Structure 1
Amino acid sequence: MGWKAFVEGGAASIVAGCSTHPLDLIKVRMQLQGEGEVPAGMKPSAHAASEKFKMPARLGPFAMGARIVQQEGVFGLFSGVSATLLRQATYSTTRMGLYEIMKTKWQEGNRLPLRKKILAGLIAGGTGAAVGNPADMAMVRMQADGRLPVETRRHYKSVADAILRTTRDEGLGALWRGSSPTIVRAMLVTASQLATYDHVKEDILHHHWLHDGLLLHVIASSVAGIAASVTSNPVDVVKTRLMNMQVRPNGVPPYSGPLDCAMKTIRSEGPLALYKGLIPTMCRQGPFTVVLFVSLEKMRKLLRDTS
């Protein structure tokens, strides 16, 4: 039945999202490093040579995690976890369920061609992102709040408080701020993650290299996690910065849109800035994808056994 695809995917995504939340928090904080520290249009090298400007040291994932614990306590690593729960219950449940439904309907014989897996992932990911963007926006803001000066922090009490206050202070449309890169990222992640997992798993089984079991699921999901990280990171950086931006007192936002954000980031920090947080992204996406698909396979078996 179609509803099982949504239940399986949603439950597996919630388990994976909550278990890897601290890694996602570190990734977001790393992606925001350097933002606003170098004026747009001026090269970092020019600033480095200036006596009035000193580039702050960039923290790696372990140092960033240690700083969060030092400044915000151990529970600081779980800032925004309520938003993660809502995001997985909306975005991931939608994309996982739709992907399985399309995969079943489009299947040719015993296997679905890779191009159709990718197309199903693109459609499912984009739809899921549109549904889950308010929760995604709230999650980014709650995760980023600890890095802001105390006087400018938003101090959201929960994901519901974040969504309600954003709507009240900035309008309903603010809940879909950054939706363009969010949708593009979700399309890339879902297409690369789900299609890669299914294709690698099917190829290994087809060549009889492994039996269908835990080891196979871990290998296939690890490859899928790497693919999803590399393809989505630049869009993820832009999405994070758009969602976290604060409108200036004169009412002019720092970025007018995704392309403007990407170009300003490249001009002020260099093209590699779009790959900020790649290592924590892979460190987060890898375990997330492994937990996701291992949990998904267990959920499928559980629902089959009880049906």
Structure 2
Amino acid sequence: MMATFTSDFVLGGVAAMGAGLVTNPVEVIKIRMQLQGELAARGSHAQPYKNVLQAFVAVAKNDGILGLQKGLAPALCFQFIINSIRLSTYTRAVEKGWVHNKKGEISFLRGMFWGALGGVVGSYCASPFFLIKTQLQAQAAKQIAVGYQHSHTSMTNAIRQIYRKSGFFGLWRGSMASVIRTTVASSVQISTFGKAKSLLKDNDIITQPTCLSFFSGLAAGSFVSVAVTPFDVITTRLYNQGVDSHGRGLYYKGWLDCVAKILRSEGVYGVYKGFWPIYLRMAPYSTLVLLFFEELIAVREKYDLHY
């Protein structure tokens, strides 16, 4: 049983890394669009990123084609840690029957609880890599730079700079924003995936395993995009802001202060910046990570059965 849990832990992380590798360019675009016009009224600032397609072209032209994969190393580390924890936690809950009701059906609320629990633990453990990923992805050529520009040259350089300036716990700055964001995203993603899969299969709409996982993941990603965007914007802003000599944020004091300032300066539109790149990333990401995870588990079970 412990071997199975360990296997799920590793497979969950590997599946997420595979999905993260494919979707990282969209993540770079998302970060830039969320930082564009930070604390400025709509229409009163430069707009180097006008839409998703134009943003891809702008990044490739000014930062080079590899600019679309900025922050990839910490992004993959983040994906491995958070998803190995949350997916293995949810899988164990399913195996133990903790997400099922008295009829043996998957409970939406119980699925949300276990999805959120795994997400909270995973996001807090992986928070330093999310922080570094955000700051590296925000770095851009002067012509298209938005938001605070950090001087990191690599993931290890970023760790050294943050540690030197803010100490060990500086690597967890803004972690509560990430925990809230991931709680929402993970609970919605995993619960809607399980529920969609159950509905499609029980009603004989889709029964082929790979197609079932694909369309269930697509449904989960769509719901997550709507729910998580405001929390994602807040997390990006808190992680990317610079700090003073005392380690205090230059723009925001904390989560609530960030929300208040965005709404006051940018309106409701401000907390939904970057929705389309979030959707374009989240839908395929949710589809790929859950599909890869289930396919890897199927391979493991086939291997175990064979031997």
Q: TM-score, normalised by structure 2?
A: 0.90
Cα gap change, 1:253 to 1:55, in 2 (>3 Å): closer
CA shift at 1:218, angstroms? 1.7
| Aligned equivalents of 2:149, 2:264: Cα separation in 1 | 27
| Aligned equivalents of 2:86, 2:197: Cα separation in 1 | 20
Aligned pairs for 1:239-250 (under 5 A) are 239-248=235-244
| Aligned equivalents of 2:61, 2:212: Cα separation in 1 | 39
Aligned pairs for 1:64-143 (under 5 A) are 64-105=55-96, 106-108=98-100, 110-143=104-137
Cα gap change, 1:252 to 1:31, in 2 (>3 Å): closer
Partner residue in 2 for 1:51: none
Alignment of 1:305 with 2:302, yes or no, is yes
CA shift at 1:56, angstroms? 2.2
Q: Which runs of 5+ in 1 are unaligned?
A: 39-43, 49-53
Out of 162, 165, 183, the residue aligned to residue 169 of structure 1 is 165
Of 107-116 and 293-302, deviating more is: 107-116
Cα gap change, 1:133 to 1:147, in 2 (>3 Å): farther
Partner residue in 2 for 1:41: none
Are the counterparts in 2 of residues 248 and 254 from structure 1 also a CA contact under 8 Å?
no
1:245 partner amino acid: Q
| Aligned equivalents of 2:131, 2:244: Cα separation in 1 | 19
Partner residue in 1 for 2:258: 261
CA shift at 1:91, angstroms? 1.4
Are the counterparts in 2 of residues 83 and 158 from structure 1 also a CA contact under 8 Å?
no
Task: Provide the secondary structure at the position in 2 that maps to 1:146.
Answer: coil
Cα gap change, 1:213 to 1:243, in 2 (>3 Å): same
Number of positions where the alignment pairs a residue of Structure 1 with one of Structure 2: 293
Aligned pairs for 1:133-282 (under 5 A) are 133-146=127-140, 153-248=149-244, 253-282=250-279
Cα gap change, 1:252 to 1:114, in 2 (>3 Å): closer
CA shift at 1:77, angstroms? 0.3
Task: Provide the secondary structure at the position in 2 that maps to 1:34.
Answer: coil
CA shift at 1:248, angstroms? 4.8
| Aligned equivalents of 1:73, 1:27: Cα separation in 2 | 17
| Aligned equivalents of 1:166, 1:177: Cα separation in 2 | 10
CA shift at 1:298, angstroms? 1.3
CA RMSD of aligned residues (A): 2.0
State the Cα deviation string for residues 180-209 of structure 1 (Å, max 9, x = none): 110011111111111111110111111112
Q: TM-score, normalised by structure 1?
A: 0.90
Cα gap change, 1:74 to 1:118, in 2 (>3 Å): same
| Aligned equivalents of 1:275, 1:3: Cα separation in 2 | 38
Cα gap change, 1:163 to 1:15, in 2 (>3 Å): same
CA shift at 1:161, angstroms? 2.1
| Aligned equivalents of 1:103, 1:305: Cα separation in 2 | 19
| Aligned equivalents of 2:249, 2:122: Cα separation in 1 | 30
Cα gap change, 1:237 to 1:210, in 2 (>3 Å): same
2:131 partner amino acid: M
CA shift at 1:164, angstroms? 2.2
| Aligned equivalents of 1:2, 1:228: Cα separation in 2 | 26
CA shift at 1:156, angstroms? 2.5
Are the counterparts in 2 of residues 103 and 120 from structure 1 also a CA contact under 8 Å?
no
State the Cα deviation string for residues 32-74 of structure 1 (Å, max 9, x = none): 01114x2xxxxx37xx6xxxxx432352111111111111100
1:258 partner amino acid: W
Of 170-179 and 101-110, deviating more is: 101-110
Q: Which runs of 5+ in 2 are unaligned?
A: none
Out of 278, 282, 286, the residue aligned to residue 285 of structure 1 is 282
Of 120-129 and 109-118, deviating more is: 109-118
Are the counterparts in 2 of residues 31 and 276 from structure 1 also a CA contact under 8 Å?
yes
CA shift at 1:295, angstroms? 0.9
Q: Between the two proteins, what is the percent identity of the paired residues?
A: 27
Alignment of 1:6 with 2:19, yes or no, is no
Cα gap change, 1:188 to 1:140, in 2 (>3 Å): same
Are the counterparts in 2 of residues 29 and 147 from structure 1 also a CA contact under 8 Å?
no
